[in-house]
Amino acid sequence: MKKETLIIREKIETLFDSPFLRVFDLQYAPGKHYYNATRRTLEDLTAVKSDSDFKGMLPDAVSCIVILDMPGDEPRLLLSYEYRYPAGRFLLSVPAGLIDEEDRKEEQPVLSAAVREIREETGLEVREGDCVTIVNPLLFSTPGMTDESNALVCVRLHPEDLSVLSQEGAEGSEQFDGFVLLTKSEALAILKNGRDQRGNYYPLYTWAAMMYFAADMWKDE
């Protein structure tokens, strides 16, 4: 049986507030509490948006499925090892980052953020003839504890060579430990094993990127 649950903004209590993370108590009934860790301010919380605002909201960040389609070589999925602080180690990851205020001023904020993050984290530029498309406009990471969300963007690049590949554009807390260029068969092997080539687990968005690549869905773009 469907039960209507409404979060009332006036009943929300701020439990923790910092420039980078907030925790809210979403009181959904008298004496009933649900906690939400989020990057969003109280005014922008997903839980209190109207249906129309919810359906049109921007995600917090973008995750990029970067496919290198180079002359004379098998297409490859570009991933990197990025240090993930909650996991305490370098994890196989896609180029990704938050949608910042400058992106929000653009006509297509999600695509603007994707192009910028790829430039910063890989050194590669999107050029004429390359393809940048939204695979999914907004995916929740885990709505059981946070309203954080990512758009998925597929970026198909055609570089002449990979001499420009660089992780020198890392900013703030970002730390990297090299690139991984997967063929379709290598991506399938990691998907089947549930571990990367170093024997470690990896993020869900990496799994999604490998699935999209291995299923050849990018060829329809």
* Interval 62-76: pLDDT, tens: 999 999 999 889 999
DSSP state at residue 146: B
pLDDT tens, residue by residue, 81-120: 999 999 999 999 999 999 999 999 999 999 999 999 999 9
**Number of other residues whose CB lies within 10 A of the CB of residue 38:** 19
pLDDT score for 173? 86
Q: What is the DSSP letter of 197?
A: T
Give the residues of the chain that fall short of pLDDT 70. 1-5, 221
State residue 168's pLDDT score: 86
Specify the amino acid at residue 190: I
Domains in the chain and their CATH numbers? 1-47 (no CATH), 61-220 (3.90.79.10)
Task: Provide the 3-class DSSP secondary structure of residue 186.
Answer: helix
- Do residues 79 and 121 lie in contact, with contact meaning Cβ atoms separated by under 8 Å? no
Record the pTM: 0.93
Would you state the pLDDT for residue 215?
96
Residue 173, exposed/middle/buried by CB under 10 A (0-12, 13-18, 19+)? exposed
